[in-house]
A = this chain, B = another copy of it.
Amino acid sequence: MIAIPLPGQPVRGSKSGEPIMAVFDLLGRTWAMGILWTLNKHGPSTFRGLQELCGSVSPTVLNKRLKELREAGLVERSENGYRATAMGEELYSMLVPLGAWSQKWAEVIGQK
């Protein structure tokens, strides 16, 4: 198994070690952005809570993603379950514009 993507190391998808490529690797795994999105939108959640909020995520993948996100310092465990760290919230805030963009994109694609 390839390691959890961290800056300064070759990652799945790129061998340059550029931080942005580590981010792309980290986020470019099933449910990674979805989990970050959900955690920030709904606040802290338990493992099972996240499973329900995400709807169709298998516990295997959820567990892997949570481990990776925790190791990357974006998610941590609290008394209320998993929650985003300050870094995680910052990253989330950069994903937020994607939400609005995706609506627009949906319209454009739909018109084809």
Mark A residues whose CB is within 8 Å of B: 6-8, 12-16, 18-24, 27-34, 37, 54-57, 72-73, 87, 90-91, 94, 97-99, 101-103, 105-106, 108-110, 112
Contacts and interface: CB of A to CB of B under 8 A. Distances in A.
Number of copies of this chain that the complex holds: 2
Contact of A99 (B20, B33, B72): B20
Contact of A37 (B8, B24, B37, B99): B24
A4 to B, nearest CB: 10
B21 A34 contact: yes
A23 B87 contact: no
Grouping DSSP codes into helix (H, G, I), strand (E, B) and loop, the A interface class, with mixed when no group exceeds half, is helix
B55 A19 contact: no
B13 A31 contact: yes
A37 B23 CA distance: 12
Given A55-B15, A91-B101, A101-B91, A28 B32 contact: yes
Contact of A110 (B8, B72, B103, B109): B8
Contact of A30 (B13, B31, B37, B99): B13
Given A18-B102, A27-B27, 18 more contacts: A7-B109, A12-B30, A13-B56, A14-B34, A14-B56, A19-B102, A19-B105, A20-B37, A20-B98, A20-B102, A22-B102, A22-B106, A23-B105, A27-B33, A28-B30, A28-B33, A73-B105, A94-B98
